[in-house]
Amino acid sequence: MFRSFLLYLSRQASIFRFVRHNGFAKSMASRFVAGETLDTATAAVAELNAQGITCSLDLLGESVTNAGEARAAGAAYVQLLDAIKAKGLDANVSLKMTAMGQDIDDALCEEIVRSILERAKAHGSFVRLDMESSAYTQRTIDFFEKRLYPDFREHVGIVLQSALRRTFDDTQHAIAIGCRVRLCKGAYLEPADVAFPEKKDVDANYVKCMHALMERGNYPGLATHDPAIIAEAKRFAKERGIAADRFEFQMLYGVRRDLQAQIVREGFRLRVYVPFGTQWYPYLMRRLAERPANVWFITGNILREIGSGSRKRVGSGA
Ligand SMILES: Cc1cc2nc3c(=O)[nH]c(=O)nc-3n(C[C@H](O)[C@H](O)[C@H](O)COP(=O)(O)OP(=O)(O)OC[C@H]3O[C@@H](n4cnc5c(N)ncnc54)[C@H](O)[C@@H]3O)c2cc1C
């Protein structure tokens, strides 16, 4: 119930306009978002790289409403790839197709995404197409497979969500064509005809898809903070003799940092998804919805930091 409410709030642009400059909301965001600028984000990446963690940078932004905004987002990604290269960071990028104009015009979206992929290819980098709600699943997979993958094979990959009933079939197909997949549970509230309503089924489907990807997939990204699933991945790798460099774990910036450190200590690969930018509100609300206890946890932290006079803010470089 509270989760649905938080997800409802995540879609309310009027609330974002209200909280955009609110210090308390920005403090909450700073736990999950690496500031509002390219400099704060690349500084966060450098810090993670120093701990042996690779990154995927996400310039926050979702469904844009005009071509100008989409082109600006595309240009910012090209600049981001250049900055990663210039600063020698171990990072790739993740983007949302709706931020590139997917809701405006397919041809425009293709032109923008291809310009990003050309730059990624030139720099030997990689672009992950994040997956949004199930309304976009088929469109995103078709776009990926028909318009991008043939020209940019090792430089582009998709995301599949174990919450969706179709995902095991999509996983098999991705394995058949050899493309790179990030597997996650799925962050969106979905209708029961397309998604499993029960968490235990989402988790079981995750494990089923994960086994297939680990055994036969192309360098899968296992995006989860679920300790039971992570333990199963390690067990399965050992049992099947799958080397630690054939897959990577992926986690979100600021989430389960203890587990992140443990994975690196144990010699597994870890990539942290590092979101940044001014459009942090929907992203923050999805993270809070995943674990409503975060609302109280972060509020408590902020109050303690206010008490000790050391409060951090989005955009402050923290
Ligand atoms: C690298 C990465 C990329 C992602 N990309 C996408 C995408 O493209 N599309 C999409 O729909 N979703 C994406 N997600 C989000 C994902 O779908 C889930 O919503 C999110 O990861 C929570 O699921 P979980 O697997 O961690 O398991 P859960 O069962 O939700 O959580 C397991 C445990 O992890 C911890 N945890 C999980 N979330 C949080 C949190 N927010 N704060 C604190 N602790 C937490 C808790 O200890 C929890 O008990 C991505 C996630 C990651 C890690």
Atom of ligand 1 nearest to the CA of 224: 25
| Extents of the domains making up the chain | 34-279
- pTM, two decimals, is 0.91
Q: What is the 3-state secondary structure (H, E, C) of the chain?
A: CHHHHHHHHHCCHHHHHHHCCCHHHHHHHCCCCCCCCHHHHHHHHHHHHHCCCEEEEEECCCCCCCHHHHHHHHHHHHHHHHHHHHCCCCEEEEECHHHHCCCCCHHHHHHHHHHHHHHHHHCCCCEEECCCCHHHHHHHHHHHHHHHHHHHHHHEEEEEECCECCHHHHHHHHHHHCCEEEEECCCCCCCCCCECCCHHHHHHHHHHHHHHHHHHCCCCEEECCCHHHHHHHHHHHHHHCCCHHHCEEEEECCCCHHHHHHHHHCCCCEEEEEEECCCCHHHHHHHHHHCCHHHHHHHHHHHHHHHHCCCCCCCCCC
Q: Probe ligand 1: pick from 291, 296, 299, 301, max atoms within 8 Å of CB? A: 291
- Interval between CA 309 and ligand 1 midpoint (Å): 31
Active site residue 128: no
Pick the residue whose CA is nearest to atom 49 on ligand 1. Answer: 226
pLDDT in tens, 243-292: 999 999 999 999 999 999 999 999 999 999 999 998 888 888 888 887 77
Mean pLDDT of the region 96-103: 95
pLDDT computed for residue 302 by the predictor = 55
pLDDT tens figures, 205-243: 999 999 999 999 999 999 999 999 999 999 999 999 999
Which of 167, 225, 229 maximizes ligand 1 atoms within 8 Å of its Cβ, making it the mutation to test the pocket?
Answer: 225
User: Residue with the nearest Cα to atom 32 of ligand 1?
Assistant: 226
Among candidate residues 119, 180, 182, 286, the one labeled active-site is: 182
pLDDT for 76 equals 96
CATH architecture for residues 34-279: Alpha-Beta Barrel (3.20)
Active-site annotation holds for 170: no
31, 119, 130, 287: which one is catalytic? 130
